[in-house]
Amino acid sequence: MDFEHSPRAKEYIEKVRAFMETHVEEGEKEYFRQLAESSAKGERWCVPPVIEELKARAREAGLWNMFMPNPDFGPGLSNADYAPIAELTGRSHIGPEVFNCAAPDTGNMEVLEKYGSPEQQEKWLKPLLAGEIRSAFLMTEPDVASSDATNIETEISPDGDHYIINGRKWWSSGAGDPRCSIYIVMGKTDKSAERHLQQSQILVPADTPGVSVKRHLPVFGYDDAPHGHMEVELKDVRVPKENIILGEGRGFEIAQGRLGPGRIHHCMRTIGAAERALELMVKRLGTREAFGKRIIQHSIWEQRIAEARVDIEMTRLLCLKAAWMMDTVGNKVARGEIAMIKVAAPRMALKVIDDAIQAFGGAGVSDDFPLANMYAMQRTLRLADGPDEVHCRSIARLEMKKYMNH
């Protein structure tokens, strides 16, 4: 039992912290300034130039692809070592992208690294790792309860040496970004197969004929431009057979492999967001007065701050443990812990951020502080990658297995 970070983790923590303070904090303000400027010119969906400058600087500093355990493509940190780093990046809206550690690219890169053919890796993994392009993952559909993944309706039909894809996806995050060049699409290649063998994952370049990004979906009132959460129509979209990943009917298997790291990366960043919210709350309450004393001295706030601190600490530890288990016993054995942190992290963060909003009064719901935006983004994480209810179901079933013979 040792709660100390490894020397390697500590080294990266210090470097990332310094980089965040020196470059990202200011860069974030510039980012929103540039975004507002281009918005004012009617160009909402374009990339603020500062982000590419920051990326170049981070890459140069060796703070690049830190999410990727494979040492061929980055520092090769373990999940446990990456956790505190991802947390730091999660304090800033642009943090993850600066270090090429942003969703959904990280998940897509992992899929390609793990399951992609050499040709697929050359063509798509390489530029993703270089931060030259971005990507999206097209799974959820508007017309069915996607919480039950077997409901998915998109069809991937063989047609000679091609597949023809038809379907409608939404919450395709990142598909609003002009740099987004490649989609991984989940759909059914064989509706008559056993339930978990019906689906496949296939690579679809964003510019393939038949692909149309129909609209963006706001999250609360945020469009999250230029990233965006898009609704995408796939109409008779034709891609070569070699675009299939791993083979027909392997979609579920890949999804399982993909979702472990993807989910826990979200959770790491979520903890960073909560930590930042707590810091903002304490500072605010410590500098304003009401009814004759600093607000932080009112015991209702002592209670809320204490609960926030307790809940953040506990969630962080669970996240670290899940990451450590992924490193030591693998994602499959760690699936209970991954499901647990998936449920726990946004639940915790939403409570902390909501209290912080209350502490800020009107300023809390505005965009003068990042709290309302954080809240909106965290709220989606009780739905994305499987709603709480589905993860709770899995956790309960593991529990049942311990004690029952069925």
Output the smallest distance, CB 252 to a copy of itself, in A.
15
Distance CA 341, CA 100 (A): 23
Among 81, 105, 248, 275, binds a copy of itself (CB under 8 A): 81
Q: Is 143 exposed, middle or buried (0-12, 13-18, 19+ CB in 10 A)?
A: exposed
| C-beta closer to a copy of itself: residue 128 or 322 | 322
Distance CA 330, CA 86 (A): 20
Query: Total binding residues for a copy of itself by CB under 8 A?
Result: 99
Among 29, 214, 241, 397, binds a copy of itself (CB under 8 A): 397
Among 49, 158, 178, 218, binds a copy of itself (CB under 8 A): 218
Distance CA 389, CA 397 (A): 12
Cα distance between the two ends of the chain: 34
Structure tokens at 146: 């996607």
| C-beta closer to a copy of itself: residue 61 or 376 | 376
Output the smallest distance, CB 127 to a copy of itself, in A.
29
| C-beta closer to a copy of itself: residue 121 or 380 | 380
Among 7, 42, 71, 209, binds a copy of itself (CB under 8 A): 42
Q: Of 168, 166, 165, which Cα lies nearest the Cα of 144?
A: 168
Q: Which stretch binds a copy of itself (CB under 8 A): 57-65, 115-123, 124-132, 394-402?
A: 394-402
Output the smallest distance, CB 167 to a copy of itself, in A.
16
Are the beta carbons of 174 and 262 closer than 8 angstroms?
no
- 387: contact with a copy of itself by CB under 8 A: yes
Distance CA 383, CA 350 (A): 13
**Mask of contacts with a copy of itself, 315-354, x by CB under 8 A?**
x-xx-xx--xx----------xx-xx--xx----------
Output the smallest distance, CB 225 to a copy of itself, in A.
11
Q: Is 127 exposed, middle or buried (0-12, 13-18, 19+ CB in 10 A)?
A: middle
Among 204, 210, 300, 351, binds a copy of itself (CB under 8 A): 300
Rg for the chain, CA atoms, rounded: 21
DSSP 76: -
Distance CA 267, CA 392 (A): 16
Distance CA 133, CA 141 (A): 25
Q: 225 — phi, psi (to 5°)?
A: -65, 150
Scan residues 94-133 and list those touching a copy of itself (CB under 8 A): none
| C-beta closer to a copy of itself: residue 105 or 355 | 355
Among 255, 296, 352, 356, binds a copy of itself (CB under 8 A): 296
Output the smallest distance, CB 6 to a copy of itself, in A.
6
- 36: contact with a copy of itself by CB under 8 A: no
Helices 371-380 and 251-287 pack at an angle, to 10 degrees, of: 160
Scan residues 363-382 and list those touching a copy of itself (CB under 8 A): 363-368, 372-373, 375-376, 379-380, 382
| C-beta closer to a copy of itself: residue 254 or 285 | 285
- 400: contact with a copy of itself by CB under 8 A: yes
- 14: contact with a copy of itself by CB under 8 A: no
Distance CA 364, CA 357 (A): 4
